[in-house]
Amino acid sequence: MKERYEIRWHGRGGQGAKTAALLFGDAACSTGKYLQAFPEYGPERMGAPVVSFNRISSQPIRTHIPVTNPDVVVVLDVSLVEQVDVVSGLNPTDGILLVNTFQGSQEIKKKLNFTGRAYTVDASKISLDTIGRNIPNTPMIGALIKVTQLLNIDEVLSDIRKKLEVKFRNRPEVIEGNIKAIEKAYNEVK
């Protein structure tokens, strides 16, 4: 892995793009890495396009600027690809594009005229099946780990389980649902 890895999350207000970046950052910390996780604060409203960022590094991170040349772009809502230039700044050969959609990766690549590595997973369906609601952010963490190999999936699952156990101690079905969603997306992304 290179020394610093940068991720940009695209979502719609309310889909959990910020939470995904925070959860992924937390998980990276638990594996001993340095990280930043921060959203872009604009006039965000429910449903409006939003962006959040991660930096993951083996060294302390000093910079405090938004990510403009990400190594990975994660898209939580496929309708955004028609609306936002999601591959902006993404390397056309090594860059990784990960999209929540039932479509195949070739279709997405064609639609975006993107030549790098593309992956898709139906995270909305996975979250509906496992959590009972369309909240694609946690399964997308599983898919992200698979395609980047940045973190160890078992370590991340145990870290997220610990965090969810604090937050949802009276709702064990939420904990199990989220863990299953992450595992399922990890296995199904292609």
Partner 1 sequence: MPQRLTKTANEVFAEAMRQINPDVVAAYPITPATEVVQIFSQFVADGKVKTEFVAVESEHSAMSACIGASACGVRTLTGTSSQGLAYMWEMLYIASGLRLPIVMAVVNRALSSPINIHCDHSDTMGARDCGWIQIFSENVQESYDNFLQAVRIAEHQDVRLPVMVTTDGFILSHCLEVVEVLEDETVRKFIGENPERKSILDVENPFTLGALDLQDYYFEHKRQQAEGMKNSLNLIPLIGKEFGDKFGRYYDFAESYKLDDAEIAIVIMGSTAGTAKDVVDQLRDEGKKVGLLKLRVFRPFPANVIQKALENIKVVGIMDRADSVNAISGPLYPEICTSLYDSDKKPLLVDYIYGLGGREVREEDIQLVFSELFNILKTGKTYNLKYIGVRE
SS3 170: coil
What count of Cα atoms within 13 Å lies in the side-chain half-sphere of residue 178? 22
DSSP state of 62: -
Nearer to partner 1 (CB atom), residue 106 or residue 152? 152
Contact 140, 74 (CB under 8 A): yes
- Least Å from the CB of residue 37 to partner 1: 4
Largest CA distance in the chain: 47
DSSP state of 80: G
Among the listed residues 46, 59, 62, 166, the single contact to partner 1 using CB under 8 A:
62
Query: Does the protein bind partner 1 through residue 41 (CB under 8 A)?
Result: yes
Query: Does the protein bind partner 1 through residue 16 (CB under 8 A)?
Result: no
What is the rounded CA–CA span in Å between residue 3 and residue 129?
37
Nearer to partner 1 (CB atom), residue 66 or residue 172? 66
Contact 25, 36 (CB under 8 A): yes
- Least Å from the CB of residue 19 to partner 1: 11
Would you tell me how many other CB atoms lie within 10 Å of the CB of residue 125? 17
What is the rounded CA–CA span in Å between residue 44 and residue 50?
7
Among the listed residues 61, 88, 102, 106, the single contact to partner 1 using CB under 8 A:
61
Query: Does the protein bind partner 1 through residue 70 (CB under 8 A)?
Result: no
Nearer to partner 1 (CB atom), residue 37 or residue 75? 37
Nearer to partner 1 (CB atom), residue 117 or residue 163? 163
- Least Å from the CB of residue 116 to partner 1: 23
Q: Which amino acid is at 165?
A: E
Nearer to partner 1 (CB atom), residue 19 or residue 105? 19
Closest of 162, 15, 147, 7 to residue 179, by C-alpha: 162
Query: Does the protein bind partner 1 through residue 93 (CB under 8 A)?
Result: no
- Least Å from the CB of residue 65 to partner 1: 6
Query: Does the protein bind partner 1 through residue 39 (CB under 8 A)?
Result: yes
- Least Å from the CB of residue 56 to partner 1: 11
Closest of 95, 87, 93, 52 to residue 71, by C-alpha: 95
Residues interacting with partner 1, by CB under 8 A?
21-22, 25-26, 29, 34-39, 41, 60-66, 68
